[in-house]
Structure 1
Amino acid sequence: MQDLEITAYLHAIELQPKSVYIVHEKTERLLPMHSHTKSQFTYVEGGIAYIYTENKTYFIPARHYVWIPKGLPHFVKVRTSATITRNLYFYTDDDHTEPFYGKLGIYPVNTLLYEMIGFTNNWNGDIEKKDNTYHFMAAIKNILPQLSTRSFPIALPTTTNSRLRPIVLYMAQYFGQQITLESISSRFGMGERTLSRLFQSTMNISFLQYLKLLRIVRAIEMILQEDRSTTDIAYLTGYNSLAAFSKAFFQLTNIRPSDFAKHNS
């Protein structure tokens, strides 16, 4: 996307501060790091999307949405063109009424919200107070704090640290192998305590916590995008047994991998 197109798109979102701006196209995913004076609701209808902020990568599976508060720098990325996202940009003059509106969160979409989102399919651009559809859009925003009480907890820290970034990239490529603190320390020529401290000080997470997060993210990708059994996915993501994989998955997501697969099939 050219700079002029980006400027025009962002200007269109901001033009009417008290409106709801609707986009069902794939424009948002083409933008570089940016922010809005409006709050953003992005629903992932099919596939997987990622929200990148300045220090974390948030994972959004299908039938989930992300709420991005006003002013938060971010960009959206998808792995395949088949991923469908729907973007609603909301007025913010009432954001102070609910703590929900002030923080980024990823939430599952229940049947009610799914039907409401689907009802907006034929609308695009600004929905203003004078429009008959405005109260419907306001109702979507108003019910979010009540419907969305538990955020999907998968977020991978990111880093530009010159010592740690090559290690993180290596782990992203070989997450299915038997990676240990000892093996990574040896490969990259640093002590185990040094590497452990580097993870903690740079990304505020332990080496083992990061590895577990990485593996569960990759497992979720496989569940949503590949026709594999839960047992296969367990071994492909570096676990020695289905039981160990299921336990780690549940600890991070509060749902068993088999149940997650059923709910997102």
Structure 2
Amino acid sequence: MHNAILKCGLKEQNDSRFVDSIEKEAYVWCEKDWKHDDHEHAHHRAQLTFVEEGYQYFHIDQKIYLVPQYHVIWIPSGKAHRITSEAKTVNLMVFLFKTVFNDDFYKNVQVFAVPPVLKEMLLYASKWNQLVKEDEEQDVFFKAILKSLPNFCKESSYLEIPVPADARLIPVCTYINSNFKYSLDPDALAEKAQMSVRSLQRIFKNETGITLQKYLQLVRILKSIELIDTKQYTLSQIAYMTGYQSLSAFTASYFAIMKSKPKVKKNS
């Protein structure tokens, strides 16, 4: 057996297969300055990841979910996922649960902003970091977190970018991902997909559930979040860098997707 890699607190032996040698019902794994690889993996524990600093992208089921700072993502047991991030520093807390309550909430991927009370609970839970022996307080506390998640979530739909399964659309997405500063040119995109503009618009909407214009908007907002994270630019600069004609147009677009106004974080 070659050296196992730790991922989400579990030992990976080979081919994204995991050895869950931990008997406990639930445990937490805190990681400062998280380094991830680019492999898809799955495990037989449900996962709650809290992004304490930075942001992460989770690639799951033909979708890319953005999980910014002070947000959590819930991933059901057995669901394959892959993680990427361009953030300078990523601090994560990963909670892993063997069993969950019988509620539809736990069967689907969920991403939501962490309300203050949940944030305090998650941070308090860090005192059990990587503790594998039984602990009664921890057991009760983690159950309380788990039980309250559906109430904390309240149907918050966060930024998720659909990835089409139809291979003809991949060059279209790749092109928009690289040229998001510019307005859409439907003719050029149709040529890339080798279909008519009307077919492209119809098939793209069927595949992703959104229009090309909406896809462009999502990509621009995603890029703006990466630029905000660098702390190198003003919001006006970021607006122009992501293809908006004015700061107000950018702010309105950002608010429509993220339900909050963009803010440049100062270097601490």
Partner of 1:95: 101
Change (3 A) 1:81 1:243: closer
Provide the rounded CA distance (Å) in 1 between the counterparts of 2:61 and 2:253: 27
Provide the rounded CA distance (Å) in 2 between the counterparts of 1:152 and 1:29: 25
Partner of 2:63: 56
Change (3 A) 1:186 1:163: closer
- Alignment-mate amino acid for residue 185 of structure 2: T
Confirm or deny: 8 A CA contact 2:169 2:193 kept in the other structure: no
- Alignment-mate amino acid for residue 13 of structure 2: T
Q: Output one character per residue of 1:126-150: Cα deviation in whole Å (capped at 9) or x when no partner.
A: 6576533221222222222222224
Alignment equivalent of 2:216, drawn from 211, 222, 230: 211
Provide structure 2 residue ranges, at least 5 long, that are not aligned to the other structure.
6-11
Give 1:178 deviation, angstroms: 2.6
Moved over 6 A (4+): none
2:146 matches 1:141 = yes
Give 1:57 deviation, angstroms: 0.5
Give 1:78 deviation, angstroms: 2.2
Q: Provide the secondary structure at the position in 1 that maps to 2:67.
A: strand
Partner of 2:91: 84
Partner of 2:242: 237
- TM-score normalized with structure 2 length: 0.82
Give 1:208 deviation, angstroms: 1.1
Provide the rounded CA distance (Å) in 1 between the counterparts of 2:67 and 2:157: 8
Q: Output one character per residue of 1:197-246: Cα deviation in whole Å (capped at 9) or x when no partner.
A: 23123333221111111111112222233332222222211122223222
- Alignment-mate amino acid for residue 192 of structure 1: V
Change (3 A) 1:226 1:109: same
Q: Output one character per residue of 1:34-76: Cα deviation in whole Å (capped at 9) or x when no partner.
A: 2233211001111110111121000011111101112222122
2:129 matches 1:124 = yes
Q: Provide the secondary structure at the position in 2 that maps to 1:72.
A: coil
Partner of 2:110: 105
Partner of 2:30: 24
Change (3 A) 1:230 1:150: farther
- Alignment-mate amino acid for residue 148 of structure 1: C
- Alignment-mate amino acid for residue 20 of structure 1: A
Q: Provide the secondary structure at the position in 1 that maps to 2:128.
A: coil
Provide the rounded CA distance (Å) in 1 between the counterparts of 2:209 and 2:151: 31
Q: Provide the secondary structure at the position in 1 that maps to 2:47.
A: strand
Q: Which shifted more, 172-181 or 123-132?
A: 123-132
Partner of 2:232: 227
Provide the rounded CA distance (Å) in 1 between the counterparts of 2:155 and 2:133: 30
Provide structure 1 residue ranges, at least 5 long, that are not aligned to the other structure.
none
Provide the rounded CA distance (Å) in 1 between the counterparts of 2:38 and 2:105: 25
Provide the rounded CA distance (Å) in 2 between the counterparts of 1:225 and 1:167: 28
Partner of 2:8: none
Provide the rounded CA distance (Å) in 2 between the counterparts of 1:256 and 1:180: 29
Give 1:163 deviation, angstroms: 2.1
Task: Give 1 or 2: higher helix fraction.
Answer: 1
Alignment equivalent of 1:35, drawn from 20, 42, 54: 42
Provide the rounded CA distance (Å) in 1 between the counterparts of 2:243 and 2:225: 14
- TM-score normalized with structure 1 length: 0.83
Give 1:159 deviation, angstroms: 3.4
Give 1:4 deviation, angstroms: 4.3
Provide the rounded CA distance (Å) in 2 between the counterparts of 1:242 and 1:7: 49
2:174 matches 1:169 = yes
Q: Which shifted more, 24-33 or 172-181?
A: 24-33
Give 1:168 deviation, angstroms: 1.2
The number of aligned residues is 258
Provide the rounded CA distance (Å) in 1 between the counterparts of 2:179 and 2:121: 41
